[in-house]
């Protein structure tokens, strides 16, 4: 059985955690394929909320096997904290979680380099989560990194010191205060904790699942517009967030890709710097932020908000070969008189429906307007109750992008999920 993939189609925080947890009812194996603790995936059920950064969002489902794949970067300290939280609420984490030997480790000095490099960029900073993501992927592609499997090598301590020394030389170029040993003791202790998990050749595990017809769900982090190649570069993250990244980040072939679930919000948000064509700076933007509780799960920063951008959405669907759309946070649009969605861009008087290579201030959105609805979608748990205006809005999106929306999310809770009737299975 092929691997199904869940990924974000915007700038992250689309609601991947909620949907992976929901879909995990049907999947015995859930595997994260890229990113690291820059991710914050929120889950809400039985009146409790949880935020996961490194652990796959299938972890709460009994009988699942969760894998942190080779494409992920791990900060052992954040990993330990998260796992201990899960242990404290009774999740048998060591029975449900395995880690790829090939995943790379975030060192304390990677985090210092992240902070120093952002500081040096001044007003053009990326707005990184400062978790050391960029520097760790730089060491990976630069062939200097330390991998999870290396922690069992007899010379691990020497390798750690050698990479740390390289980092301290690199840091000399920055005018940035730091302590060379900052966080090192806690990091080394957390490495001991990490040793307690099955450290495996996850690519064999995933391919065995494919051959034995065990369903695998690949969980992405961030979103297509933060992709290192196709995102709004340089205001992106440092990994491949698209479907291709799932193959590379878990070790299965593109020919073994099954359904591709593309997740998007009914509007847009972005946290950190970078272009955002449909961004709002008015009371509608404030209302989206307030009603949508748009504050970062990882950093607590207020998220920038704006209307849905169908040009960018179509681009993300194309890049990922999305087969199934999932629209999140529909309830947040309740009560707006008018709702907008960008259908094209105006670039210096010329209209285009293509995402441009370079996004500058002269690019403005061309909107289609929709009448809002006076209803509480968060209480509507089946399709027939949905208001006509809302159905009109989603049918327009489906027409524009050429794909049906299979699942509608109308609230943060597991239960607030409508699988459309035209689809009798997920």
- Give contact residues for ligand IMO (rule: CB under 6 A): 8, 11-13, 35, 38-41, 126-129, 131, 133-134, 221-223, 226, 237, 271-272, 297
- 108 is an interface residue for ligand GDP by CB under 6 A: no
The CB-of-152 to ligand IMO minimum distance in angstroms stands at: 28
* Residue whose CB is nearest to ligand IMO in the complex, by number: 272
CB-CB contact of 5 with 261 (8 Å):
yes
- Catalytic, 282? Answer no
Catalytic residue among 4, 21, 41, 331: 41
| DSSP 8-state secondary structure symbol assigned to residue 400 | H
Which option in Mg ion, ligand GDP, ligand IMO, none does residue 320 bind, with CB closer than 5 to 8 A by kind? none
Q: Which is nearer to Mg ion, 51 or 168 (CB)?
A: 51
Among left, alpha and beta (phi > 0; psi -120 to 50; other), residue 183 is: left
Q: Hunting for tokens 């972005």 — which residue is that?
A: 270
Q: What are phi and psi of 158, to 5 degrees?
A: -70, -40
The CB-of-33 to ligand GDP minimum distance in angstroms stands at: 14
Among left, alpha and beta (phi > 0; psi -120 to 50; other), residue 156 is: alpha
Q: By CB neighbour count within 10 A (0-12 exposed, 13-18 middle, 19+ buried), where does 369 fall?
A: exposed
Contacting range for Mg ion; rule: CB under 5 A; set: 12-20, 98-106, 150-158, 268-276? 12-20
Which option in Mg ion, ligand GDP, ligand IMO, none does residue 226 bind, with CB closer than 5 to 8 A by kind? ligand IMO
Alpha carbon distance 368, 51 (integer Å): 35
Q: Please report which residue ranges of 233-381 form alpha helices under DSSP H.
A: 243-250, 283-291, 310-320
Give the bridge partners for 146, in sequence order: none
Contacting range for ligand GDP; rule: CB under 6 A; set: 8-16, 139-147, 278-286, 393-401? 8-16
Q: Which is nearer to ligand IMO, 264 or 393 (CB)?
A: 264
CA angle, 288 then 292 then 294, to 5°: 90
- 288 is an interface residue for ligand GDP by CB under 6 A: no
Which option in Mg ion, ligand IMO, ligand GDP, none does residue 72 bind, with CB closer than 5 to 8 A by kind? none
Q: Which of 32, 329, 340, 406 binds ligand GDP (CB under 6 A)?
A: 329
Q: Which of 70, 297, 409, 417 binds Mg ion (CB under 5 A)?
A: 297
Asked whether the bond before 381 is cis by omega within 30 degrees of 0, the reply is no
CA-CA-CA-CA torsion sign (295, 297, 300, 304)? negative
Q: Which is nearer to ligand IMO, 126 or 319 (CB)?
A: 126
Catalytic residue among 4, 13, 139, 331: 13
- Catalytic, 284? Answer no
The CB-of-399 to ligand IMO minimum distance in angstroms stands at: 27
Helix (H) or strand (E) holding 73: strand 73-74
Long-range pairs, 114-119, Cβ under 8 A, ≥24: 115/176, 115/178, 116/171, 116/174, 116/176, 116/178, 117/174, 119/174, 119/176
Which option in ligand GDP, Mg ion, ligand IMO, none does residue 100 bind, with CB closer than 5 to 8 A by kind? none
The CB-of-299 to ligand IMO minimum distance in angstroms stands at: 7
CB-CB contact of 139 with 147 (8 Å):
no
- 227 is an interface residue for Mg ion by CB under 5 A: no
Note the residues at the interface with ligand GDP (CB under 6 A): 8, 12-18, 39-42, 44, 292-293, 297, 328-329, 331-332, 409-412
> Which residues are marked as active site?
13, 41
Which residues make up the interface to Mg ion (CB under 5 A)? 13, 40, 297
């Amino acid at each position: 059985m092929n691997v199904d993939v869940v990924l974000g189609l915007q700038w992250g925080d689309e609601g991947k955690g909620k949907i992976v947890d929901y879909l995990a009812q049907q999947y015995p194996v859930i595997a994260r394929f890229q990113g690291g603790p820059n991710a914050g995936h929120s889950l809400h059920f039985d009146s409790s909320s949880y935020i996961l950064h490194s652990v796959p969002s299938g972890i709460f489902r009994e009988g699942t096997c969760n894998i942190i794949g080779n494409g992920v970067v791990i900060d052992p300290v954040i990993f330990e904290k998260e796992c201990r939280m899960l242990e404290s609420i009774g999740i048998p984490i060591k029975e449900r979680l395995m880690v790829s030997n090939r995943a790379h480790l975030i060192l304390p000095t990677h985090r210092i380099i992240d902070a120093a490099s952002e500081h040096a960029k001044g007003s053009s900073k990326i707005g990184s989560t400062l978790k050391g993501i960029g520097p760790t992927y730089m060491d990976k592609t630069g062939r200097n990194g330390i991998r999870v499997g290396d922690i069992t090598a007899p010379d691990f301590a020497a390798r750690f010191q050698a990479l740390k020394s390289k980092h301290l030389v690199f840091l000399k170029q920055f005018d940035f205060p730091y302590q060379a040993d900052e966080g090192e003791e806690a990091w080394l202790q957390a490495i001991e904790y990490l040793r307690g998990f099955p450290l495996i050749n996850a690519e064999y595990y995933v391919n065995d699942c494919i051959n034995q017809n065990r369903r695998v769900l690949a969980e992405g982090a961030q979103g297509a517009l933060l992709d290192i190649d196709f995102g709004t570069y340089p205001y992106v993250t440092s990994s491949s967030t698209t479907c291709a990244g799932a193959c590379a980040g878990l070790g299965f072939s593109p020919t073994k890709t099954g359904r591709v679930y593309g997740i998007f919000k009914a509007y847009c948000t972005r946290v950190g710097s970078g272009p955002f064509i449909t961004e709002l700076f008015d009371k509608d933007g404030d209302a989206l932020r307030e009603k949508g509780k748009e504050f970062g799960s990882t950093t607590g920063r207020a998220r920038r908000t704006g209307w849905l951008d169908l040009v960018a959405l179509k681009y993300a669907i194309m890049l990922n070969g999305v087969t199934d759309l999932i629209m999140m946070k529909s309830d947040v649009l309740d009560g707006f008189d008018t709702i907008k969605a960008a259908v094209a861009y105006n670039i210096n008087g010329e209209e285009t429906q293509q995402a441009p290579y370079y996004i500058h201030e002269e690019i403005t959105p061309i909107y289609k307007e929709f009448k809002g609805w006076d209803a509480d979608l968060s209480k509507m748990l089946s399709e027939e109750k949905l208001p006509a205006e809302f159905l009109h809005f989603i049918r327009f999106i489906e027409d524009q992008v050429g794909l049906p929306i299979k699942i509608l999310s109308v609230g943060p809770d597991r239960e607030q999920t409508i699988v459309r009737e035209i689809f009798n299975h997920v």
